Amino acid sequence: MGLTILTTDTLHHRYFVNAIREGYECKVYLDRRPQKQPDHPDWLTEAIDTYEEIHWGDQPLEYDEGDVEKVEAETTLIFGTRILHNVERLGLTCNCHGGVLPKYRGLDTNLWARLNNDDLGVTIHQIDEGVDSGPVYATKKMEWPGVIPLRWVNTMFAIGLCLDWLKSVPSRTYHGRHDFIRYPLMPWCIKRTLL
């Protein structure tokens, strides 16, 4: 299998890529397009970053040079990029989504689920023309004790789910669509009560 990972250059994304690389040879391309910044204070960002640095240490990342809009691949796993279009060139293209699909599409989905007293988790789904609306291949529900940054827990569960799922690629197929609510980025006034 020719695996390609599309991601961004942040500590938790580097940790994810390096963990996948322990079991699979793959090419990695970075999405360098500007992304919407999180809606929370700098002190919270610094606290989460510090926690991740303590637990994950330095995570050097070797990546391939190239524009994510021009990459061609056999199997592509996306973790932490903006919405990509025209993905036919990427072969089997799946997103590792932080949330339980089909119910929680969009951004901050595990926080929305927590607000609604629903299950938290990560999902691997095929990319289609919608937002987090493609066929679901695998879901892993998770517990969040609340004392550990959710992004850290989410990344650890994503690694486990992706490593399990990659064992079955490309033999797994799924057909069908599902209904959804697309969740927006959660406002800080609500986020702070959940974090």
Rg of the chain over all Cα atoms, to the nearest angstrom: 16
Q: Provide the pLDDT confidence category of residue 47 given band limits of 50, 70 and 90.
A: confident
Q: How far apart are CA 132 and CA 127, in angstroms?
A: 7
pLDDT at 117: 93
Q: What domain range includes position 9?
A: 3-194
pLDDT at 183: 63
| Count of the separate structural domains present in the chain | 1
CB 19 within 8 A of CB 67: no
Work out the average pLDDT over 52-70: 74
pLDDT at 2: 81
pLDDT at 112: 92
Tens-digit pLDDT profile for residues 2-33: 899 999 888 888 899 999 999 898 999 888 77
Q: Whole-prediction pTM value?
A: 0.77
Tens-digit pLDDT profile for residues 116-134: 999 999 999 998 888 899 9
Q: State the CATH number of the domain containing residue 60.
A: 3.40.50.170
CB 49 within 8 A of CB 152: no
pLDDT at 172: 41
